[in-house]
Amino acid sequence: MILQAIDEMKGATGKSYAQLCLEVGVSYPSLMRWRERYGRGLEPLSFPGPHKVEPMDLERIHTELGELAHGRKRTAGTGELYERYRNQISRRQLRLLVDEARQAYRDQEESSRRRIYWHEPRLIWAIDDIHLGYCDELKVLGNQIRDLSSRYQFNPRLCLGHVLVGDEVALRLERLFEAHGAPLVLKRDNGSNLDCKLVDQVLQNHGVIPLNSPPQYPKYNGGVERGQREFREALAAVGYGDHLALDERIVRAELAAAKMNDKARRVLHGHTSAWSFETGKQRQREYTLRHRKEAFEEMIVMATVALAEPGSRKPLSSQAAWRLAVQTWLQSNGMITISQGRKLLPIFP
């Protein structure tokens, strides 16, 4: 803080404030004004102009900013927005908020154009919950697990009126790991039933690395979102509907998953998901607990470096740094390819 620095220089040299202002290039009247404000318990600096008379409804302003049409350099509707809130916010403050909103919009657009291609069957799974209609006025909710490379769909678990709780999810994963081997990475959202100590313990026991999606950003979990759309279409094809009892829904859901796994896919060069999933067995066996531990430690180092990276426009949160580290490790080891349009993106630094 410049006031503190000048006071320390004055105490050390005995020079007057006027002399010190000449040496450091600060206006003497400004320094005196800052000192007077600081002495009254106010911020030394404030925005120029008269203060607004109404309290600022910042949440509503942010909501309306998100609804504006943001271009590369301009945002349409800013003038009308200022007229609505001119008694709450200055033009300077609004301009700063608009710049932040436009940058956030550009970042989201760039992220939405990226696509991840998964190259290693059995090594990267995704888990999520899915809403599958109503039965007796209660929601039918399913737990869906998918291998992202082969698109192999495990039989879903359906529940009436609630999602699988944490211990049920942990037990489901334990049984799947015992039957099919454990993946290296498990993508999941931040639901309390999927991100809990019981699930974490199962992942730790099998050397599975968790990868959480950003809060309220389903595009990050795009593979699962597309899988859910495909699963609903497969359910419709086998006659699944709200007229069925829960037991019959479970049978139809398993039939839909089986049909999905036996479907020849262009993305798999004409092979089925079941065939592609089987081809990953040998590669999966190569990742022993020791190799998984080494991969996990490398990701920790990458996340630590990302957090300490200087000069970034916006500091990373620990969760964002971890996502970046896992993604970078998978990309550098050939397990994923990230593209934007037809352009392959380089590995993140």
pLDDT per position as a tens digit, 196-236: 999 999 999 999 999 998 765 555 555 667 788 899 999 99
Rounded percentage of the chain residues whose pLDDT exceeds 90:
48
Predicted confidence band at 34 (pLDDT cuts at 50, 70, 90)?
confident
Instruction: Give CA separation, 218 vs 107, 109, 125, 184, 253, in Å.
Output: 15, 14, 16, 22, 23
Q: Taking a C-beta distance cutoff of 8 angstroms, is the pair 126, 145 a contact? A: yes
Q: Taking a C-beta distance cutoff of 8 angstroms, is the pair 277, 122 a contact? A: yes
pLDDT tens per residue, range 264-273:
999 899 999 9
Query: How many residues in the chain?
Result: 349
Per-domain residue ranges of the chain? 1-46, 51-115, 119-285, 288-344
Predicted confidence band at 312 (pLDDT cuts at 50, 70, 90)?
low
Which of 273, 311, 332, 300 is closest to 122 using CA atoms? 273
Predicted confidence band at 260 (pLDDT cuts at 50, 70, 90)?
very high
145/219 Cα distance (integer angstroms): 17
165/143 Cα distance (integer angstroms): 10
Count Cβ neighbours within 10 Å for each residue of 24-60 and write b for 16 or more, e otherwise.
eeeeeeebeebeeeeeeeeebeeeeeeeeeeeeeeee
292/134 Cα distance (integer angstroms): 41
State the Cα angle at 207 between 305 and 347, rounded to 5°. 35
| Phi-psi sector, 334: left (phi>0), alpha (psi -120 to 50), beta | left
For the domain bounded by 119-285, which CATH number is listed? 3.30.420.10
Predicted confidence band at 325 (pLDDT cuts at 50, 70, 90)?
very high
Mean pLDDT over each residue of the chain, to the nearest integer: 84
pLDDT of amino acid 95: 84
pLDDT of amino acid 348: 47
Predicted confidence band at 349 (pLDDT cuts at 50, 70, 90)?
very low
Which of 219, 314, 19 is closest to 306 using CA atoms? 314
pLDDT tens per residue, range 272-286:
999 999 999 999 999
Q: Taking a C-beta distance cutoff of 8 angstroms, is the pair 31, 10 a contact? A: no
209/299 Cα distance (integer angstroms): 10
pLDDT of amino acid 116: 82
123/128 Cα distance (integer angstroms): 17
Q: Taking a C-beta distance cutoff of 8 angstroms, is the pair 241, 211 a contact? A: no
Q: Quick one: average pLDDT of 84-96?
A: 82
Q: Taking a C-beta distance cutoff of 8 angstroms, is the pair 272, 261 a contact? A: yes
pLDDT of amino acid 110: 60
75/77 Cα distance (integer angstroms): 6
Indicate if the pLDDT at residue 346 is higher than 60.
Answer: no
Indicate if the pLDDT at residue 252 is higher than 50.
Answer: yes
Helix axes 28-39, 2-13, angle to 10 degrees: 110
Which of 200, 202, 219 is closest to 211 using CA atoms? 200
CA 160 to chain centre: 29
324/345 Cα distance (integer angstroms): 14
Tokens coding 200: 């974490």
Predicted confidence band at 84 (pLDDT cuts at 50, 70, 90)?
confident
307/303 Cα distance (integer angstroms): 6
